[in-house]
Amino acid sequence: MRNLILGAALTTVFVLAALISFIFTPYDIAALDIPNKLQQPSAQHWFGTDHFGRDIFSMIMVGARTSIAVAVLAVGIGMGLGIPLGLTAAARRGGWLDEIIMRGNDLVFAFPALVIAILITAVFGASAVNAIIAIGIFNIPVFARLSRGAALGLWSRDFILSARVAGKSSARISVEHILPNIGNLMIVQGTIQFSLGILAEAGLSYVGLGAQPPTPSWGRMLADAQTLVSIAPHLALFPGMAIILTVLGLNLMGDGLRDWLDPRLRVLRA
Amino acid sequence: MLRYILKRFLSLAISLIVASMVIFAVIEIAPGDPAAYMLGINAQPDTIAALRAELGLDQSKLQRYLSWVGGMVVGDFGTSYAYRSPVAEMIGDRLWVSLPLAIYALTLSTIIAFPAGIYAASRRGHFGDTAVMGATQLGVAIPNFWFAMICVLIFAIKLRWFSAGGFPGWDRGFWDGIKALTLPAIALALPQAAILARVMRSSLLDMLGEDFIRTARAKGLSRRQTLWRHALRNAMIPVLTIIGLQFSFLLAGAIIIEQVFFLPGLGRLVFQSISARDLIVVESVVMLLVFAVILVNFLVDLTYAIVDPRLRGRT
């Protein structure tokens, strides 16, 4: 429970920062202020300024939008395609459709997210949308495997048998009875993939395969900081801490949710 | 056992074929003609046509796919559009940086993770366990390229123990090469070590709950003896699987770390090739990375079957 609260609190801070940045940031991140470049953290600029004199605190707030949007959409793609595939495979377990879906999954698994991103970028050029697609594709087999595994366990249960006796089709059973029962598991995994998505987006933006300037992103801020890190370490420190705390928060929340949602663990604790 | 190996081998071959088709198809979508790109905007149409013929671009898609795959099987990856040199040679040169880096990182990650995981499992619920698990939570959350930058700041710029980047080449001596790869390997190893330590701990804890451990304890062995003689050996199976998987991810992950340290590895080759639209190089490097993942999975499956005979029946 402690993990869940701490994780949820950290996550909320960054989600709020991203939301607030739509209506307010302490400074305008598009305005250049060269005389005030590379300022150390101070009362005026909490996290200092970058090589164009932009306020790093404001940039981290706006960067949170990019990170969160990319990760959320990538998890959405993974869930939206992966779960139906997994449920279909489970409903047709042992059949040719199951075999094709699972072999397809194995194939996608052989492509690390970075490699998918390299392929997409080589063909279509770098952008945040391509980062979303790359991370999203990587997420599909994760959810497909997990939902198939969980659904297989349910298909042999009595309540599913009674639904079949009642004449419901396997598609309807999957949606009405299986899906609600694997929902918790998917939410927990979603949280974990969300945190991996934040890390992946940062990595892709850092090497120039993700969000392109002027869209601020934490990975790009780190890439910009690289050559200046010896004279202005704060340029690297704060975006890095933002990534670490967000990922840590999501992981703690995922762990906490799993413990909280799994009734067996709750009984053990009681 | 032979039947199992054959079956797995067949599935390996199919995976590689399908993966190569996917990669080829995706690269095919790319707009633009490599020959026109190489010759620049002032090239004459007949010069472009001649180069297209020389590069084999005038053949049908199927022919080109077959010659690409057929070439790779015998080690001929084609000719780079940008450098006009054999892709196999370019990749070979870069592999001498990326492969040692991945192996170095994997070694470090194992050296860190084993003691940490074993210690945490043996102190379950105590302060030591909580401390190790807390550290691994943090390790998983730290982006390796950020950690790499911080390492450069501390160990290269402030303390001057290592150089901030670059690679002198192996011909300058083994230790110079190792020294240049040390910071990158540490940065690459850290998150993997955190994951591996968690797997080691949970696998060991699973084993410690088994009946045969209770028997060993009842027989009069101490906790320490049961842990080292019985539990650890059995707990290694999932751990080895993760080590196998990590190797291929380290090879891919090295791509990002190479950017931080300006290492002339596969990563830099791929990014140079993307910006130069040298797609044949991108295609080959991607195929090589995917091949590494598929091959390692295959080897892990085989090792599994050798270690645990029960798995051979289930294919």
pLDDT digits (tens, 9 = 90+) for A113-133: 888 888 888 788 888 888 899
Give the DSSP per-residue string, B73-104: HTT---B-TTT-SBHHHHHHHHHHHHHHHHHH
| pLDDT on residue B146 | 93
Q: Report, as an integer, the average pLDDT of A77-91.
A: 94
**Binary contact (B141, A244; C-beta < 8 A):** yes
Domain contains B30: no
Domain contains B26: no
**Binary contact (B255, A121; C-beta < 8 A):** no
Q: H or E element: which one contains B188?
A: helix B174-208
Helix (H, G, I), strand (E, B) or coil at A49: strand
| pLDDT on residue A141 | 92
Specify the CATH number for the domain of residue B160.
1.10.3720.10
- Evaluate if residue B309 carries a pLDDT over 70: no
Domain contains B287: yes
- Evaluate if residue A270 carries a pLDDT over 60: no
Residue showing tokens 């305008």: A28
What distance in Å separates the CA atoms of residue A171 and residue B94, rounded to the nearest whole number?
Answer: 50
| pLDDT on residue A16 | 92
Q: What is the pLDDT of residues A233-262, one digit of tens each?
A: 888 899 999 999 999 999 999 888 888 887
Radius of gyration of chain B (CA): 24
Q: If pLDDT is split at 50, 70 and 90, which confidence band does B315 have?
A: very low
| pLDDT on residue A245 | 94
B interface test, pick of A123, A135, A222 with most B CB neighbours within 10 Å: A123
pTM above 0.95, yes or no: no
Shortest Cα–Cα distance, B223 to chain A (Å): 24
Asked if the C-beta of B149 comes within 8 angstroms of chain A's C-beta atoms, the answer is: yes
Mean pLDDT for chain A overall: 86
The beta-carbon neighbor of A206 closest among B15, B145, B153 is B145
Domain contains B213: yes
Residues of B in contact with A122 (CB under 8 A): 27, 30, 273-274, 279, 282
What residue spans of chain A are helical by DSSP H?
2-23, 56-91, 96-109, 113-124, 128-155, 158-165, 170-173, 179-206, 218-225, 234-261, 263-269
Shortest Cα–Cα distance, A5 to chain B (Å): 16
Q: Report, as an integer, the average pLDDT of B24-29.
A: 84
Q: Report, as an integer, the average pLDDT of B96-105.
A: 91
Domain contains B10: no
Asked if the C-beta of B159 comes within 8 angstroms of chain A's C-beta atoms, the answer is: no
**Binary contact (B142, A106; C-beta < 8 A):** no
| pLDDT on residue A239 | 92
What distance in Å separates the CA atoms of residue A156 and residue A168, rounded to the nearest whole number?
Answer: 15
Q: What is the pLDDT of residues A36-60, one digit of tens each?
A: 777 788 878 787 888 777 888 888 9
Structurally, chain B folds into a number of domains equal to 1
A69-73, A123-127, B10-14, B142-146, range with the lowest pLDDT = A123-127
The beta-carbon neighbor of B290 closest among A111, A225, A244 is A111
The beta-carbon neighbor of A110 closest among B19, B152, B270 is B19
A interface test, pick of B12, B81, B137, B149 with most A CB neighbours within 10 Å: B149
| pLDDT on residue A266 | 53
Domain contains B180: yes
Number of residue pairs across A and B with CB atoms under 8 Å? 113
ipTM of the complex: 0.86
- Higher-pLDDT residue of A36 and B16 is B16
What distance in Å separates the CA atoms of residue A70 and residue A77, rounded to the nearest whole number?
Answer: 11
Domain contains B28: no
Largest CA distance in chain B: 87
- Helices vs. strands in chain B: H and E counts, helices first: 14, 0
**Binary contact (A236, B290; C-beta < 8 A):** no
Q: What angle do CA B254, B258, B264 make, to 5 degrees?
A: 115
- Whether B300 and B240 have beta carbons less than 8 Å apart is answered as yes
Q: What angle do CA A8, A12, A15 make, to 5 degrees?
A: 140
- Evaluate if residue A269 carries a pLDDT over 50: no
Is the N-terminal amide bond of A214 cis, ω within 30° of 0?
Answer: yes
Q: How many CA atoms lie within 13 A of A105 on its CB side?
A: 24
Q: What's the domain range around B108?
A: 96-313
The beta-carbon neighbor of A236 closest among B149, B256, B290 is B149
Shortest Cα–Cα distance, B266 to chain A (Å): 12
What distance in Å separates the CA atoms of residue B307 and residue B234, rounded to the nearest whole number?
Answer: 10
- Evaluate if residue B153 carries a pLDDT over 60: yes
Shortest Cα–Cα distance, A197 to chain B (Å): 11
Extract the tokens encoding A26: 């302490």
Extract the tokens encoding B47: 């010069």
Asked if the C-beta of A110 comes within 8 angstroms of chain B's C-beta atoms, the answer is: yes
Residue showing tokens 């949308």: A129
Shortest Cα–Cα distance, B222 to chain A (Å): 27
Provide, for chain B, the percentages of residues in helix, strand and coil under a 3-state DSSP scheme, each rounded to the nearest 5.
80, 0, 20
| pLDDT on residue B12 | 87
DSSP state of B59: S
B interface test, pick of A14, A127, A206 with most B CB neighbours within 10 Å: A206
Q: What is the pLDDT of residues B46-70, one digit of tens each?
A: 888 888 887 777 788 888 888 888 8
- Higher-pLDDT residue of B210 and B127 is B127
Q: Report, as an integer, the average pLDDT of B118-122.
A: 88
**Binary contact (B145, A203; C-beta < 8 A):** yes
Domain contains B6: no
Residue showing tokens 């340029």: A235
What distance in Å separates the CA atoms of residue A193 and residue A144, rounded to the nearest whole number?
Answer: 13
Shortest Cα–Cα distance, B122 to chain A (Å): 21
Mean pLDDT for chain B overall: 85
Asked if the C-beta of A203 comes within 8 angstroms of chain B's C-beta atoms, the answer is: yes
What distance in Å separates the CA atoms of residue A67 and residue A209, rounded to the nearest whole number?
Answer: 14
Q: Where is mean pLDDT largest: A103-107, B103-107, B176-180, B211-215? A: B103-107
Residues of A in contact with B141 (CB under 8 A): 195, 199, 243-245, 247-248, 251
Sign of the C-alpha dihedral computed for residues B70, B72, B75 and B81 taken in this order: positive
Q: How far is CA B218 from the centre of its chain?
A: 43
